[in-house]
Structure 1
């Protein structure tokens, strides 16, 4: 179990550090002026896990929970030490190593939640499209999905079986965290996964999925349907393994025009969240889509993650009070 008593205190500048996430529900009438504030009501002492889960459900907490979205940190010396011996993919696919990297920032900073060390591209790999990282940086996949035939070859049936190493890593992490610290699972959104799969690599401009959506939406929808089924099964597996919350990363949502977002991305996230049945709170994080608040709200996520381009204050005015905000 992670020993939070020996963890280093959170620095006062926590909100300003890259990758640190605050999750909170602040009502519009919350007193921002000290003179308006009433004497505080005593609050029960919460564990980090309770704090995170309550905040995700927009229930009262003693303070906003904090976690590190870039969980490997890249700057953590203990992570860099592991990278001297293992590749990124090896760290992801070895359950014991994945657990170690997951726990490193929690040990160092005493965060309220840990997010599993993994990658969104485990889904394409489980469907038959293997990936690896280049020495100079960036990801390369064994082939690009460029035709209807390529889409038809992608297999959904064995996704959960092929990702059993993720299941094991989650169960081991849950055991290590015990009842004190929350555990977050995640997946990429169908749209974001499609952008990588169709390029076959990380590239400066992801244009092929966008072109397919605009010129042949029927074929794009066939790919999105397969990815939605795969992501849903994957996240259901994570719930069974003991996660306290799930985040869907729509990292390339901002590549879409506001009028395209709902059909290309939003509707598929909504389908996934609906299929999960509310068993754990869900977080929808879509980068660069701050003009699509209604579409993000309609996904049914308990929490909406906002990026650095939007202020918490502005977002709070536009998002219902029963939906949490996370960021930024």
Structure 2
């Protein structure tokens, strides 16, 4: 038996808002999360503060990536200036998926030109024992300070979104020691050592749960769980090896706030993502939005799903494709416009601005 019994599904928790209501409670984004009718489709973009922006590149010319992430005032300013420039409807904190791994015992480095590198990867069953429980959140105080600084500097009518990597995606980095195309070390450990796999995933899921709650405590109105690499799995493996742990990671946060559950790479996983939990299910461009919504159920909100490569085309194409996504949502309450992945670094800023303008124009119910 290599599958632990799943806890009760938190996929449709009752969200209560403690009085008094704050201005952000009536934001387009949070109303869409609740599947309420809105006068216009809300829009924000993954990696909306990134290398495509000259202002961001100027900041990065002065500080390394992790130094930026670990300087709350600077990280908040990067996002606040981006929100002001683009006119988006939510601010996701400027951070990364992987800092949570450092206090859990992983030796993480962001190497220039290589991306994240973990120097002590988990490759065998015996290695799992050195992954520490995330009992002490103090080493991640810079993330919570970033949430507070972003909330303090943001217009009160806009929400702050916190985030974390999902257990599978974090496990992939732990095991591979960085990014991968095939995730062979990850799958090998998963298949060879199911008990060790579930032990690792349990530790990560509990850590992610605490991490998300701490971001809500710091002032986030919503959190997003990123399962960036889970598309390498098929449905049966997802159900057996991933679903119960993703459910654990989100369950406590779902009792307090909307949670966006985002994964990419395999549309056949969508019903299982919804089963694992999420107020909003984020989808990529590999499936039509209307079909994706049928797969997750119309009792969920949905986020997506323009291919970010469209932003490398001409502005007329950007406008047309934005309209196509909105048309596939058919005005149904609960759609949040986003990309199916992050903004590419080579994207022209003018095209991002054109996209935001098009969504506001075509997504208006007036």
**Bucket of the pairwise TM-score, normalised by the shorter protein:** 0.7 to 0.9
CA distance in 2, matches of 1:185, 1:170: 7
Flag structure 2 segments of 5+ consecutive residues without an equivalent: 1-22, 306-366
Deviation at 1:176, TM superposition (A): 0.6
Total equivalences in the alignment: 283
CA distance in 1, matches of 2:292, 2:64: 39
Q: In the superposition, relative to structure 1, how do residues 49 and 198 fare at CA in structure 2: closer, same or farther (>3 Å)?
A: farther
The match for 2:194 is: 217
Q: In the superposition, relative to structure 1, how do residues 159 and 288 fare at CA in structure 2: closer, same or farther (>3 Å)?
A: farther
The match for 2:356 is: none
2:44 alignment partner, one of 67, 80, 98: 67
The match for 2:127 is: 150
Deviation at 1:169, TM superposition (A): 0.8
Q: In the superposition, relative to structure 1, how do residues 133 and 97 fare at CA in structure 2: closer, same or farther (>3 Å)?
A: same
Deviation at 1:261, TM superposition (A): 0.8
RCO higher in structure (CA 8 A, sep ≥6): 2
2:140 alignment partner, one of 163, 175, 190: 163
The match for 2:153 is: 176
Contact 2:110 2:117 in 1 (8 A): yes
Establish whether residue 113 from structure 1 lines up as the match of residue 90 from structure 2: yes
Contact 1:188 1:250 in 2 (8 A): yes
CA distance in 1, matches of 2:45, 2:25: 14
CA distance in 2, matches of 1:126, 1:249: 20
My pick for the range that moved more, 133-142 or 116-125, is 133-142
Establish whether residue 97 from structure 1 lines up as the match of residue 58 from structure 2: no
Q: How does 1:112-151 map to 2 (within 5 A)?
A: 112-151=89-128
Q: How does 1:182-221 map to 2 (within 5 A)?
A: 182-221=159-198
Deviation at 1:49, TM superposition (A): 6.0
Establish whether residue 80 from structure 1 lines up as the match of residue 57 from structure 2: yes
1:265 alignment partner, one of 228, 239, 242: 242
The match for 2:255 is: 278
Deviation at 1:142, TM superposition (A): 2.4
Residue 64 of structure 1 aligns to a residue whose secondary structure is coil
Deviation at 1:209, TM superposition (A): 1.5
CA distance in 2, matches of 1:94, 1:129: 21
The match for 1:319 is: 296
CA distance in 2, matches of 1:137, 1:284: 27
CA distance in 2, matches of 1:136, 1:304: 32
Deviation at 1:264, TM superposition (A): 2.1
The match for 1:12 is: none
Establish whether residue 242 from structure 1 lines up as the match of residue 242 from structure 2: no
Q: In the superposition, relative to structure 1, how do residues 149 and 161 fare at CA in structure 2: closer, same or farther (>3 Å)?
A: farther
CA distance in 1, matches of 2:293, 2:254: 26
TM-score normalised by the chain length of structure 2: 0.74
Deviation at 1:99, TM superposition (A): 0.6
Q: In the superposition, relative to structure 1, how do residues 316 and 277 fare at CA in structure 2: closer, same or farther (>3 Å)?
A: closer
Deviation at 1:122, TM superposition (A): 1.0
CA distance in 2, matches of 1:261, 1:188: 16
Q: In the superposition, relative to structure 1, how do residues 178 and 119 fare at CA in structure 2: closer, same or farther (>3 Å)?
A: same
The match for 1:20 is: none
Superposition misfits of 4+ residues, deviation over 4 angstroms: 46-49
Residue 67 of structure 1 aligns to a residue whose secondary structure is coil
Contact 1:258 1:291 in 2 (8 A): yes
